Amino acid sequence: MDLLRPSLRRRGLALVGAASLALVVAGCSGSAVGPSPAATVNGADISADDVEELVAANQAFYEQAIENGLDTNGELAAALEETQGVAPGTVGRQGASDALNSLIVTEVLHQELEELDALPDESLEDEVRAELETQAGGAEALAEYDEDFIDFTVRTDALQRAYRDVLAAEQTADIEPLSDEEREARILELYESVKAERPLCLNIILVTAEADAQAALERIRGGEAFDDVAAEVTIAPPSTTDGGYLYCSDYEQVTAAFGADLQGTPVGELVGPFSADDGTG
């Protein structure tokens, strides 16, 4: 299915805010995650459903933790708010991007450890779960929290520990073990290695005249939020209600739609305006 055609039917000029890297839904402000894969890591798809399910698990955990009196400084309430979109059944910008980033890092680690024949075994996952039970006040107390959230936490923690063990084994007795910062840099290096396989997501402002596009651009550069300006002036539904969020797609489709090569566009970069005509955005 061509994801461009349903949304890009009007002639006009487009001012584009791009979200590349892993921020596949980071450009949306309350937009439902789309049906295409959210990311591909060395051939392994991370689906939009995977992202939605992890966001739902995070939301359930935050709600339960708040109800249990664990939110002493308001951080959990703020984190919960970030996962929620404007409309019912939608996903908030930061919560969605955080979930996707977590899924990508987890998949990167899994593939790296699998290649090294060093995946965590069941005993390591049991060890992690036992520590969570202790922190929660027992197995019954831990069971009160969202099962999917706990399972994902156990899996990711076990992968992190297994990876640390691999890095430690690579060191000789005369070399200091890697610091936490060095380990994070190594993981980031692996994460960045799949950058080219991740899609580009766009927030757009579609208007009918170049003067309108330039006026919108000046407002945003002057400090107004892209979402607010888009909601006020764009003529392209559904982005009028979603802060300009339009779709995620591969770079080739985006190039064909806008006549511009956006490969490597930094997260949050503002580009355009571009001419738009039936497959322009």
Q: How many domains does the chain have?
A: 2
Are residues 257 and 232 part of one domain? yes
The secondary structure of 136-181 as a DSSP string is: HTSHHHHHTS-HHHHHHHHHHHHHHHHHHHHHHHHS-TTSPPPPHH
* Residue 209 domain-assigned (yes or no): yes
Structure tokens at 253: 């489709």
Last residue of a domain, one of 161, 195, 229: 195
Residue 154 belongs to a domain: yes
The verdict on residue 190 lying in a domain is yes
DSSP letter string, 181-212: HHHHHHHHHHHHTTGGGS-EEEEEEEESSHHH
Of the residues 143, 173, 195, the one at which a domain ends: 195
pTM of the predicted model as reported, rounded to 2 decimal places: 0.56
**Strand order in 200-207's β-sheet?**
245-249, 200-207, 12-19, 269-276
Indicate if 154 and 177 belong to the same structural domain: yes
pLDDT at 77: 86
- Residue whose token pair is 């766009």: 202
Token duo for residue 212? 């309108």
Say whether both 188 and 57 belong to one domain. Answer: yes
Contacts of 176 (CB under 8 A, 6+ apart): none
Domain range holding 175? 39-195
Residue 252 located in a structural domain: yes
Same domain? For 55 and 168 the reply is: yes
Q: What is the pLDDT along the chain (281 residues), one digit of tens a residue?
A: 222 222 222 334 444 443 322 222 223 333 333 445 677 777 788 887 888 888 888 888 888 888 888 878 888 888 888 777 655 555 666 777 788 888 888 888 898 889 888 899 999 999 999 998 888 888 898 888 899 999 999 999 999 889 888 877 766 545 566 676 776 676 667 666 655 555 556 677 777 777 888 888 888 888 887 777 877 877 765 444 555 555 555 566 666 666 666 666 665 667 777 765 533 33
Q: Considering the domain boundaries, does residue 31 fall inside one? A: no
In a domain, 70, yes or no: yes
The bridge status of strand 245-249 relative to strand 39-41 is unpaired
Q: Under a CB-based contact definition with an 8 Å cutoff, are residues 239 and 17 in contact?
A: no
CATH number of residue 230's parent domain: 3.10.50
Instruction: Please report how many Cα atoms fall inside a 13 Å half-sphere around the Cα of residue 192, on the Cβ side.
Output: 8
